[in-house]
Chain A
Amino acid sequence: MTYTSMESPMPLDESTSRTGFYDEELRKFNWNLLIIEILLFGVGIWNLISATGVQDKSLGLYKSQLIWFGVGMICTGLIFLLHYSTFSRLAYPIYFANILLLVAVLVLGKSTLGAKRWIGIGALRLQPSEFMKLSMVICLAKYFETDRTVSGYGIRDLLLPTVLVGVPSLLIMAQPDLGTAMIIMLTFGSMMLFVKIRPQTLLIIGLIAALALPAVYKFALKPYQKQRIVSFIDPGSDPKGSGYNSIQSMVAVGSGKILGKGYRKGTQSQLNFLPEHHTDFIFSVFSEEHGFVGGVILITLYLVFLHNGLQVAYQSNDKFALLLCLGIVFIFFWHFAVNIGMVTGLLPIVGVPLPFLSYGGSALITATLGVAVLLNVANKKFMF
């Protein structure tokens, strides 16, 4: 038997195998997540054009939002070049750098509406409190990765995580940015419950919280924050004052009825009855103009988005990746639930933006970074 070149078995071709590698990479890529992210942002920008068409400080801001999303996409690409285990290695440096930024905000920060939230770097304005959410999740995932306790954690095990979360929370509350601090604590709490805490420990924490709450209300909260809580309990008590925002927002949502008033025709937002309509109350703008149908579609989009995130966490095969993804999903979930709860009058008004819809560069970049980490884990879980 002679071998001619025609009959010879296919030699291992370098280029084919490379192509195969990329094919594999692309096949594994979690397209669903990316597509939903872009869909959500698309709806967001379309809605923002309506919300910022009003003659006030927000006019034309959607353009900057587009730029921020572009920056976020570039970051997504860059993160894809790394393996997620890098985050585990760099967890503490990232965390401490972020803490430094938070301190810098308090020292050098610029204020908006009496609160110091951002620092300027050239023309950019950074809100380090947004990035802190991710830094914290990375840190917690790393902490629990090395721990092997199964029967539930006690007070002593929770000491370090509590400090890790407590320090940035206090720094953020000092800004004061109650909304972000709250999201951080909710995410922390959810992760703690997920990794399992001993029942008796839970009971003690619950007792302490119950005792501390009145003291916090009395001493730690600023008068306007107290006023929000009072007006949440009874919005009618001062309809032109602090309850104004809540009432106007509920009217905006409700007046959209089933089909909405039509794009750019929401009187509540377009006539400035609705405050902060391009940031915290963006969902009200959407609901007013697109009604119940629009609201259901948007909430379904979020549901699918969160489900996909949870699936990435579920399918990851190491503890760090699972907790990391889960933490990120928690951040998104709490933003989503608290924001919509707040604008529909179910929760008091705290400044929590709606991911991908609210205007805000740091928040949008943080959201895209979060999705970038999910995409990375989904893709690289088999590569060790």
Chain B
Amino acid sequence: MAFLGQEEQVREYQDRFKYLYTILFLAVTILLGRLVDLQILRGDKMRQASEDNRIKKVKIAAPRGMIFDRNRRLLVDNRPSFDIEIIPQYLYESKQTDAVMSRLSKILHLSEPEIHEILRKNKSQGAFLPVKIKTDLSRDEVAEIESWKLDMPGVQITEEIQRTNIFGEVASHLLGYIGEITQTEYTALSKDPKNTYKKGDSSGKFGLEQKLEPVLRGQDGEKLLEVDALGRTKLNKNKGRVLDELPEKPAVPGKNLLLTIDQDLQLAAAKAFGDKAGSLVAIDPRNGEILAMVSRPGFDPTVFSRGISNKLWQSLLANEKKPLIDRTIQGQYSPGSTFKVLTAIAGLEEGVIDEHTKFHCPGYIWVGNRKMHCHEKKGHGEVSVVTAITRSCDVFFYRVAQRLKSVDDIAKWARHLGLGRKTGINLAREAKGLIPTEDWKLKTYGEAWNGGETLSVAIGQSYVLTTTLQLANLYASIGNGGTLYQPFMVKEVESFEGQILEQFQPKVVDSAKIGERTRELIMQGLWGVINSPIGTARSQVLPGMDFVGKTGTVQVMAVSADRIYHKCDTYKYKERHHGVFAGFAPATNPVIAVAVIAEHACSGSRGAAPIGRAVVKTYLEKYFPDLYGEKAVAARLKGKPAPTHLTFPTEPVHAVPEDDENEAILPNTDVRPDRRATETDTEVVPPEPPSLTPTGDE
């Protein structure tokens, strides 16, 4: 083996460069030869092949699953919407620009300069790129353009599927909306190897559309379309059809949903709300099926499906009534007097009161040196637990609270009946509500529980927060004897051909062991609220239907002492009390439970109860016509006095105003002001605006 010095070896290497040049020239010769072959020898053939290049891959958008109510009434559908586009290259090449323009301007009611302006604005993109001239064409426009199609080169109509909510605002929050996937979502999705989303695809953003995205979304298909060199779909002379498709992969539509919701109840609720803000939830106490779920004000999800304009989006965000919040599950409110049934259950079951216990209500109570008011300034006199519920006597429940060992006794029953925890409904963004305990306060504020606070909790004030859904579920559970169901609203998932794929069964999550006698007493109290002459909501009676419930009025802002007995209507909107109502029907073996929050409606009996009443009435008449239809009720009530299947105790009564407005007066002042505001405290985070600017390289 010989060894050489560096310089000699470099020289030796330099000698070998001749081989390198040989190889380089050889390679270049081969490549140039190939170009000669393809571009010159076979050039004409290749040019023809490119002109004939008809096979174009086109995506077939899969329709999303449809959504039906419990009676198969269509709620959400996919409807085609047509856009018109121009491919500038074809238009200019055709040398018929002027003729096409004048025709288009007539059909579309746009002036020629306007169309030219749209084209000019998009000039920076390639001339083969279609430019959208007008979206959402009318049927007439589409028909006319189609008939002139061959005389308008470069003009094409594209079909887009528009997710359409047939009832617009009604059930907007529940059904939700879809929108183009954002960059963030796309990045997250592309981590999954099975991801089938592409940029520009839509996905559910809110409500059921979001939560059941994998069910509702279909699988896009792909087809091979024959197009001519000018990009127009070829006319097939044999069949006289415009399209000559070579189907490759058909689209698989998404699965359909059959809900437990009844659209008639939704509509009845929406009508009863009028322009009030608030929410209503109606549940079947026998199984936890949600019958109605309405949050007001709503929005029209349809405008989201093809990209909501920034202006509209901003106006939705800026609206002081916050239409984008789902008040049924996101809004947390003080339940006010509707909570008193829980205090009554706790008192009776813990044995600190019984049916014979009576307290005297002089209209206030002294706790240490502080005077806590009853909403009835004059007082209720001697009251038992039944009367206390019926007349919503605060003092009675203060006294119960004083007898209870601690606030935890109330919390225990509240928890068993579904408060202070998520109901587990299949929707994102559900709020938990809040049921305070001694431990909770120590952990949250580092302070020991103050006995006086229990009194406020007893009447549903202080820290207590519930959602409308929880409240409805609470009353459903009281109505059915203590069984707590997980509320649900999807009854069935079906394939697009109508085959049932999945059925949802009721699910019991908890069971409160409420004694038989306790139940009866509570029921008597709730019955009296609506059906007795001293009830706080006696105007809401549904004759023959045994509609029972409890009203509540919740103060939103601390009102100075000199104004507390002022009329609520004189306050500014934002300072008015919330009206709350929860109840069910009929009193025994109820088939519907309902909870309503009417924001700033001043009173539970006048603001919230009528909305619940409308829904209950609609439901009973529709589903039980033999029992509750107009004729049936009339026949039953004929010649009979008001139904008294529940014995109602008679006690001395002074003149009682029905008005329960003063219930809202906050009984004490040691409640933290920040907890007092019961405004919906969940903020809506605006979705990220769609941006598809690529970052970095390939």
Contact = CB atoms under 8 A, between A and B. Distances in A.
A322 to B, nearest CB: 6
A27 interface: no
A138 B420 CA distance: 67
Given A150-B12, A270-B126, A346-B30, A240 B224 contact: yes
Contact of A150 (B9, B14, B129): B9
Contacts, number: 186
Given A251-B50, A258-B39, A299 B28 contact: yes
A148 interface: yes
B1 interface: yes
A303 B696 CA distance: 30
B128 A270 contact: yes
Interface stretch (A36-44, A87-95, A354-362): A354-362
A252 B42 CA distance: 12
Interface string A111-125: 110100110100111
B126 A54 contact: yes
A292 interface: yes
B125 A55 contact: yes
B56 interface: yes
Contacts of B24: 303, 306-307, 310, 333
Interface in A152-168: none
Interface in B210-251: 224, 229, 231, 248
A291 interface: yes
B10 A254 contact: no
Given A54-B126, A64-B697, A255 B46 contact: yes
B653 interface: no
B129 A322 contact: no
Contacts of A273: 50, 53, 56
B226 to A, nearest CB: 12
A290 B193 CA distance: 39
Contacts of A362: 697
A341 B31 contact: yes
Nearest to A361: B697
B50 A150 contact: no
A114 B190 CA distance: 10
A273 B170 CA distance: 46
Interface stretch (B15-23, B571-579, B623-631): B15-23
A363 B696 CA distance: 12
Contacts of A322: 10, 13
Nearest to B198: A57
Interface string B504-543: 0000000000000000000000000000000000000000
A112 B698 CA distance: 8
A94 to B, nearest CB: 22
B35 A287 contact: yes
A337 B127 CA distance: 32
B371 interface: no
B31 A61 contact: no
Given A240-B224, A253-B39, A310-B17, A149 B3 contact: yes
A310 B27 contact: no
A313 B20 CA distance: 12
Interface in B105-132: 125-130
A322 B130 CA distance: 53
B7 A344 contact: no
A292 B36 contact: yes
A64 B696 contact: yes
A279 interface: yes
B685 interface: no
B22 to A, nearest CB: 12
A264 interface: yes
Contacts of B694: 57, 60-61, 64
A289 B28 CA distance: 21
Contacts of A264: 126-127
Contact of A319 (B13, B40, B248): B13
Given A257-B40, A272-B56, A361-B696, A310 B31 contact: no
Contacts of A271: 53, 56, 128, 231
Interface in A295-322: 295-296, 299, 303, 306-307, 310, 313-314, 316-319, 322
A252 B50 contact: yes
B45 interface: yes
Contact of A318 (B6, B31, B199): B6
B34 A318 contact: no
B199 A344 contact: no
B49 interface: yes
A194 B129 CA distance: 50
Contact of B696 (A124, A295, A313, A317): A124
B55 interface: yes
A45 to B, nearest CB: 14
B72 interface: no
A98 interface: no
A184 interface: no
Contact of A125 (B43, B46, B696): B696
Nearest to A252: B50
A125 B46 CA distance: 38
A267 interface: yes
A279 B698 contact: yes
Given A254-B46, A303-B24, A360-B698, 14 more contacts: A118-B696, A148-B9, A195-B13, A240-B55, A251-B53, A255-B50, A264-B127, A267-B51, A271-B53, A292-B36, A307-B24, A310-B17, A318-B10, A319-B13
> 9 closest pairs, A vs B, by CB?
A254-B46, A53-B126, A361-B697, A125-B696, A255-B50, A254-B38, A257-B43, A270-B128, A148-B3
6 contacts: A148-B9, A254-B38, A264-B126, A287-B35, A340-B31, A359-B698
Interface of B: 1-4, 6-7, 9-10, 12-14, 16-17, 20-21, 24, 27-28, 30-32, 34-36, 38-40, 42-47, 49-51, 53, 55-56, 89, 125-130, 190-191, 193, 199, 224, 229, 231, 248, 694-698
